[in-house]
Amino acid sequence: MCAVKIDRKGQNPKELTVHRGELIEIEDSSKKWWRARNFHGEVGHVPNNIVEEVEIEHRPLVCRKTS
């Protein structure tokens, strides 16, 4: 999982438009442009220098019954 460091508008259909603070999933990081998927399910390429890897802490959800 990576966080986007700056806004960037895709310049062609292969590029993904991203916004600062957005979390994206990296599907392929073998080149300078990484293939990524956002939470809307959109897939495209972003330059690797505008994202940084983040560690997501997995915590169980606690549901409380309300009356």
CATH number, domain of 11, equals: 2.30.30.40
pLDDT in tens, 18-52: 999 999 999 999 999 999 999 999 999 999 999 99
Q: Which residues pair with 45 in a beta bridge?
A: 15, 35
Residue 55: which residues within 8 A CB-CB, separation 6 or more? 1
- Decide if 22 is inside a domain: yes
Q: Which residues pair with 25 in a beta bridge?
A: 37
pLDDT, residue 67, reads 61
- Decide if 67 is inside a domain: no
- Decide if 62 is inside a domain: no
- Decide if 66 is inside a domain: no
- Decide if 18 is inside a domain: yes
- Decide if 7 is inside a domain: yes
User: How many domains is the chain built from?
Assistant: 1
**pLDDT at residue 5 greater than cutoff 90:** yes
Residue 14: which residues within 8 A CB-CB, separation 6 or more? 44, 45
Range of the domain at 48: 2-53
